[in-house]
Structure 1
Amino acid sequence: VIEDLNSTNGTFINARRVRKRTVQVGDLIRIGKTRFKLEKQSADLLAHDQKDFDAMLCTGEK
């Protein structure tokens, strides 16, 4: 879920301004001047990312 908290520049999904919406794979998201596309990752990548995230939390690394 993505939610715009009354920003000046707005939050857009697939070129439509949104206040709150569930995002889906393939959505084009723009927050201010930043644009990105939500893509699906494989389960192996997700597990790897979670391990890195957990390690960062334990060590306090940024």
Structure 2
Amino acid sequence: MKAFGIALAAAVVLAIGASVLLEGTLSRTADQTFAAPSVRLSEDNTVQHRNFMGRPAE
């Protein structure tokens, strides 16, 4: 039973450590990750600024 408790505590500590490491130090935004000379990242190319409903009726 003592070994199970130690293993459980070690698993929790490793999970918390991995979470802190991955979220804090290794996370990057898409702008940083996919930055290349041929990539165009601007507001015109984002989903929020696209017009999926077509041209407005005038």
- 1 or 2 for the larger relative contact order (CA 8 Å, sep ≥6)? 1
Asked if these proteins are the same fold (TM beyond 0.5), I'd say no
**Greater fraction of residues in helix:** 2
Which protein shows a greater Rg? 2
Alignment TM-score, normalising by the size of structure 2: 0.30
By percentage of residues, which structure has more strand? 1
